[in-house]
Structure 1
Amino acid sequence: MVTNRIRRHTFAIACAASLAALGTGVLGGATATADSVATGDISAAEADISAAEAAFIEEISVNDATLPGKSTAEMIDAGYETCGRLRAGGSILDEMSAVEHDYGFDRGVLFVSAATTNLCPDFAS
């Protein structure tokens, strides 16, 4: 399991760096990459996207669980919103149903899983 997390984290960093290299329009003008955050060159607060956020976007992209019609920033916000509702006492099943209902798609399980794994890992552990 640790090996898979390391591979996934490394892959997410590589993807984030590739996206940043493609141009500023991809990540809303990001000038810092998740790699910069991970290596400690800059803090997450200084970057437009953190390593955890890049891993979240990568996971929902790979699993075809991106939110229809939403930008990268909006999907990250929705992921943090999911974490907030879970921390406030909502159940995982209710949150999965809410995500599917709110965004009109059937991948709530994958979206909530990605959010809890990457954006609020303290909740998942």
Structure 2
Amino acid sequence: MAINRNSFRTFAIASAATMMTLGAALVGSATATADTSTAEASFVDEISVNNATLPGKSTAEMITAGYVACDHLRAGASVLDEISAVEQNYHFTQGTLFVSAASTNLCPNFAS
């Protein structure tokens, strides 16, 4: 079976384009993961330094709670309402610092 030069060239170009697309997706994914890890580490550092960690919660649970606060803010909750909700849900008085750290580190663009 003879290989048609044009078919082979089309196949080679399509293969190269696919590999470039996959490579870009992998690089973008790695960057997003690195950005997420950095944001989460900054969030944990900030709440730790400000003594605004959630009582009895693991680091993973606090990060999840931070993302939940972000979700509420993105859905339209006011910052003051979210502060109150965090303080009531977790029975502590540092909701202002916790929500501030979440909105700064985990969802800095929640208002957009």
Contact 1:100 1:108 in 2 (8 A): yes
1:113 paired residue among 100, 104, 112: 100
Distance 1:44 1:69, change over 3 A: farther
Q: For this pair of structures, how many residues does the alignment match?
A: 84
Runs of at least 5 residues in structure 1 that lack an aligned partner in the other structure? 1-39
Q: Structure 2 length as normaliser, TM-score?
A: 0.68
Q: Secondary structure at the match of 1:70?
A: coil
Distance 1:46 1:109, change over 3 A: closer
Q: Structure 1 length as normaliser, TM-score?
A: 0.61
More helix by share: 2
What are the superposed Cα offsets for residues 5-47 of structure 1, whole Å, 9 maximum, x if unpaired?
xxxxxxxxxxxxxxxxxxxxxxxxxxxxxxxxxxx8x826667
Percent identity of equivalent pairs: 68
In structure 2, distance between residues paired with 1:115 and 1:124: 13
Work out which of the two has the higher radius of gyration on C-alpha atoms and give 1 or 2. Answer: 2
Tell me the residue number matched to 1:79: 66
* Higher-RCO chain (CA-CA 8 Å, sequence separation at least 6): 2
Tell me the residue number matched to 1:52: 39
